[in-house]
Structure 1
Amino acid sequence: MTSYPNASWEPLDVSSPDLEAQLSTIVKKHGPVDVLINNAGFSIGGVLENTLLDLIRDQYETNIFGAIRTMQAVIPHMRTNSNGVIVNISSATFWMPPPGVSVYASTKFALEGLSAALASELAPFGIRVLIAQPGGMQTAFAGPEKAGKQLVPLPDEYKGTPAEFVMKFVESEKGKDTDPKKAARAIVNEVLEPTVVGGNKLVRLQLGSEVTGALKGAVDFLLLLSLPDLLHKLIQIILGILSLPLFALHPSNGMVNIIDRITSCPHI
């Protein structure tokens, strides 16, 4: 915080029932909120089977309901001013959710769905909703000092499964290739100078190689699922049972080209 002497730091507890009062104090002191970035969150590592419901509720309380509270508090101000940007921090797990972090992944899926719908809901009022999707960050988010309250002991029955591999990977802190300062800068740049795709402002901002890799993996998986149907159509065409225009033979290729063009240029 000392790196930004011109900034003013105010306490804001997203899980507090007094959130609106806290925000009201900030607005009176500094003026209307132009940009809201929902970055508060933590991750539970462990299989769903033996994760306590109270811990799951804590996860949702911060990752989902905290974001909802802050948005409900600032939207009236933004709507009145017909201006504002809401940035919700999602995760690379949205594209390829790994075993061992099922609860955390579910909160990010919920946040993604909420944000995507909200983008259309608030557009008539001049409010933009941006979903930032970071990969592994060089922070203490899943570091050893937090492992005690974030990692649920793995049952013996899950030893040797992909869930164990993922949990060990998380504990090792490997795969954290993204500089959080670069990620923050990319978000700020996107807020100030929006990327326009097909006449619309960008909704999802990928941050780092991990998320672009996960996105490509998700696309490859979808293409794999479509292969049997495509093969069936090709057989019908060969037999003369079905006649399709040429472009219909390549619906997936266009998707791959678009995805490759996007993911080959990660924002950081």
Structure 2
Amino acid sequence: MNQEKIWFITGVSGGLGRSIARQAALSGDIVIGTLRKEEQIEEFSQVVPGKTYGVLLDVNEHAQIKGVIDAAILKFGRIDVLVNNAGYGLFGAVEEVSMEEARLQMETNFFGALAVTQAVLPLMRKQQGGHIVQISSQAGFRSAPGLGLYNASKFALEGFSEALALEAAHLNIKVTIVEPGPFRTSWAGNSSKRSADVIEDYASVAGKLITTINGYSGKQPNDPEKGANVIVEIVRSENPPLRLPLGPEAHEAIKNKLRSVADDINTWESKAMNTAF
């Protein structure tokens, strides 16, 4: 458990990805972090000199992923922990979001994470071990007005990750889905995108929540460094959870969803169960 681990983290230019990288490196591990701009690489490599290594990769460029991972394996021999963190928030009511905007959201948040996961799995199978950490969101478990397509991208991430946890457990490959609430990153600000179309009929519901989210950017109640510390701790634990809600708001949101689902099931159970021939 105390052996030096090799981490591969996507999207380390800032936010939770940068915090996870820093905390893992400070704990003694080696971190390979992906960035989309050449000028960011050296700066990241100096976060914890000798422990953090920046590499150029856009997770939407699937053809480049294998080469980057192969280079990491050539240099370090293995990858023990994959963290799929790269992503962004798309804001807009379901009707407001164009098909192009929706596809771009799914490309980064879902297909990008899927492609990197698939590229790392052959190595982890060969190693007979590894840990895949998927950075989802409380929005990957509970939907909210104005976030429908972001919800969809994270629900999809969680869906294949749950299946992967079942498929790979016998290979000693662990999966953890991290579901943060509001952390003080740029997710709600300049890292997010708003649908080009805005429909006045949704202003009092979706529009209101989007304005609230944008307004608390930089003022969120949770510290990314503390969240990162929890993630590093669960990676070092013998029995990491499949799900890790992060922060009190995420815990409350998920518990409310579970209560709502239970209420629906219980209310309609007698009729819904009466379906046999």
TM-score of the pair, normalised by structure 2: 0.75
Q: 1:111/1:231 Cα in 2 relative to 1: closer, same or farther (>3 Å)?
A: closer
Q: What amino acid maps onto 1:171 in structure 2?
A: N
1:188 to 228, 232, 240: 232
Q: 1:130/1:228 Cα in 2 relative to 1: closer, same or farther (>3 Å)?
A: closer
Q: Aligned equivalents of 1:43 and 1:9: distance in 2?
A: 24
Q: What amino acid maps onto 2:259 in structure 1?
A: D
Q: 1:228/1:69 Cα in 2 relative to 1: closer, same or farther (>3 Å)?
A: closer
Which residue of structure 1 lines up, in the alignment, with residue 254 of structure 2? 215
Aligned length: 224
Which residue of structure 2 lines up, in the alignment, with residue 12 of structure 1? 57
Which residue of structure 2 lines up, in the alignment, with residue 167 of structure 1? 210
Q: Is the 8 A contact 2:222 2:247 kept in 1?
A: yes
Structure 1 residue 213: Cα displacement? 0.8
Q: SS at the partner of 1:139?
A: coil
- Superposed counterparts of 1:235-254, under 5 Å: none
Structure 1 residue 227: Cα displacement? 5.0
Which residue of structure 2 lines up, in the alignment, with residue 28 of structure 1? 74
Q: SS at the partner of 2:198?
A: coil
Which residue of structure 2 lines up, in the alignment, with residue 75 of structure 1? 121
Q: SS at the partner of 1:87?
A: strand
List alignment gaps of at least 5 residues for structure 2. Answer: 1-43, 272-277
Q: Give the helix-richer structure, 1 or 2.
A: 1
Q: Aligned equivalents of 2:254 and 2:263: distance in 1?
A: 14
Structure 1 residue 77: Cα displacement? 0.6
List alignment gaps of at least 5 residues for structure 1. Answer: 233-268
Structure 1 residue 96: Cα displacement? 2.3
Q: Over the residues paired in the alignment, what is the CA RMSD in angstroms?
A: 2.1
2:182 to 136, 139, 145: 136
Q: What amino acid maps onto 1:80 in structure 2?
A: K
Structure 1 residue 50: Cα displacement? 2.5
Identity of aligned residues (%): 33
Q: Aligned equivalents of 2:175 and 2:128: distance in 1?
A: 13
Structure 1 residue 29: Cα displacement? 1.5
Which residue of structure 1 lines up, in the alignment, with residue 40 of structure 2? none
Q: Aligned equivalents of 2:76 and 2:244: distance in 1?
A: 28
Q: 1:229/1:71 Cα in 2 relative to 1: closer, same or farther (>3 Å)?
A: closer
Q: Aligned equivalents of 2:203 and 2:220: distance in 1?
A: 24
Q: 1:34/1:154 Cα in 2 relative to 1: closer, same or farther (>3 Å)?
A: same
Q: Is the 8 A contact 1:47 1:152 kept in 2?
A: no
Structure 1 residue 224: Cα displacement? 2.8
Which residue of structure 2 lines up, in the alignment, with residue 37 of structure 1? 83
State the structure with more CA Rg. 1
Structure 1 residue 151: Cα displacement? 4.6
Structure 1 residue 109: Cα displacement? 0.5
Which residue of structure 2 lines up, in the alignment, with residue 248 of structure 1? none
Which one is further off, 32-41 or 210-219?
A: 210-219
Q: SS at the partner of 2:131?
A: strand
Q: Give the strand-richer structure, 1 or 2.
A: 2
Q: Aligned equivalents of 2:132 and 2:156: distance in 1?
A: 16
Structure 1 residue 128: Cα displacement? 0.6
Q: 1:7/1:103 Cα in 2 relative to 1: closer, same or farther (>3 Å)?
A: same
- CA offsets 1:32-64 (integer angstroms, 9 cap, x no match): 111000000011000121312111111111111
Q: 1:230/1:12 Cα in 2 relative to 1: closer, same or farther (>3 Å)?
A: closer
Q: SS at the partner of 1:48?
A: coil
Q: 1:49/1:188 Cα in 2 relative to 1: closer, same or farther (>3 Å)?
A: same
Q: 1:101/1:121 Cα in 2 relative to 1: closer, same or farther (>3 Å)?
A: same
Q: 1:84/1:229 Cα in 2 relative to 1: closer, same or farther (>3 Å)?
A: same
Which residue of structure 2 lines up, in the alignment, with residue 157 of structure 1? 201
